[in-house]
Amino acid sequence: MNQRQIYILVGLVLVLGGVLWHQMRPTQDYPQPQPSAGEEQQATANQSAAQQRPAAAPSVQTAQVNLDELLESVQEVEFDYDAERTSRNPMTPLAGPRFLAVGGAESPGAQPEPTQLEAALRAMRVSGILFDAANPLAVVNDEVVGEGAELSQGVRVSAIESDHVVLTMGETSIPIYIEEY
């Protein structure tokens, strides 16, 4: 370092030390400012007015509480958390569309047209992705799935990337990007 930088560094350390010393030193009793003549007369008038008024009764009422009786009156209530808990999927978004119907073939044996396949795949919803190179997971139509998983109506998860999921139905593959709320 050159000499100028060293001087600047030493100066900053000294300023920092001074600030710390000033903040950490014990507090001292500083002399109070002396009131002016007008302020003295006002203070005297306020004191005499306060002496002429009767003292107000305290508005807070106190009561004696017997802690032993209070503890005896406490009743324990049996509570079954599992019975009272509502089942909610934590991966289900609290906003946005809840369910989108997936279109499909009219009859089980018929093969849908490519436009119907594409429409069915595009109707799928990706609401979350947990991307890990070894084992990525995605939330597709409120169901947690991994690569290779079979969804309803013959839809298969081909790949999971950091921002989209590739869904395949038959020979048709479509990337579905994660929803943004």
Taking only the tens place, the pLDDT of each residue in 132-165 is 888 899 998 888 999 999 887 788 899 999 889 9
CA dihedral sign, ordered 180, 117, 91, 84 = positive
**Strand residue runs (E) in 7-136:** 126-130
What is the structure's pLDDT at 53?
57
Total count of residues recorded for the chain: 181
Confidence band (pLDDT; 50, 70, 90) for 169? confident
Tokens 């289900």 appear where? Answer: 92
Q: What is the pTM of this model?
A: 0.38
Rounded to an integer, what distance in angstroms lies between the CA atom of residue 110 and that of residue 180? 35
What is the structure's pLDDT at 8?
93
Q: What angle do CA 163, 135, 167 make, to 5 degrees?
A: 50
Non-local (6+) Cβ contacts of 153 within 8 A are 102, 104, 120, 169
Rounded to an integer, what distance in angstroms lies between the CA atom of residue 136 and that of residue 156? 15
CA-based nearest residue to 137, from 167, 151, 157: 157
Section 66-89 average pLDDT: 80
CA-based nearest residue to 129, from 180, 88, 74, 57: 180
Third-level CATH fold of 114-177: SH3 type barrels. (2.30.30)
| Better pLDDT: 100 or 134 | 134
What is the structure's pLDDT at 93?
60
Does the pLDDT value for residue 119 go beyond 60? yes
Domain boundaries, the chain: 114-177
User: 96 in the Ramachandran plot: left (φ > 0), alpha (ψ -120 to 50) or beta?
Assistant: left
CB-based contact 135:146 (threshold 8 Å):
yes
Could you read off the pLDDT of 19-64 as tens digits, one per residue? 888 888 776 666 666 666 666 666 666 666 556 555 555 566 777 8
